[in-house]
Amino acid sequence: MATVKPAYILLGEFERLFKEKYKTRPNLNKYKHQHGFTAMVDQYGLDESRAITEHFFKMERPPHKIEDLLYNYEVVKEVLDRIREDEVNRAKLREETRLRVESMRKWSNNE
């Protein structure tokens, strides 16, 4: 089980991201919500939980309520994983395309 400190780090991160997006402080009960963030940290670790929280604010789902994040962080994680997988696949396809173009250029220059 994670300690309480990472949960408060994520609560601070949520508060900072909320402030940046809406120019106001969110109404948070930090003691109540620490348990949800502790569960997230236990499941995914601090770095991945921070990435999930950041991605939650990139999603077009206003208003960004803390309850929505805590009830649906598994869904946000799945979306984040799909995005990462897509980036890897696109990089692979770009590399394959680059190699094909090079081989076609060599072939066309030899004719």
Confidence (pLDDT) at 61 = 74
Reply yes or no on whether the pLDDT at 24 is more than 80. Answer: yes
Q: Model confidence over 37-84: pLDDT tens digits?
A: 999 999 999 999 999 999 999 988 778 899 999 999 999 999 999 999
User: Can you tell me the mean pLDDT for 6-15?
Assistant: 93
Q: What pTM did the predictor assign?
A: 0.82
- Three-state SS across 45-65? CHHHHHHHHHHHHHCCCCCCC
Domain ranges of the chain: 4-110
2 or 56, greater pLDDT: 56
Confidence (pLDDT) at 51 = 95
Average model confidence (pLDDT) for the chain?
A: 91
Long-range contacts, stretch 52-56, CB < 8 angstroms, 24+ apart: 52/76, 52/77, 52/80, 53/10, 53/13, 53/14, 53/17, 54/13, 54/17, 55/79, 55/80, 55/83
Look up residue 111 and give its two tokens. 């004719």
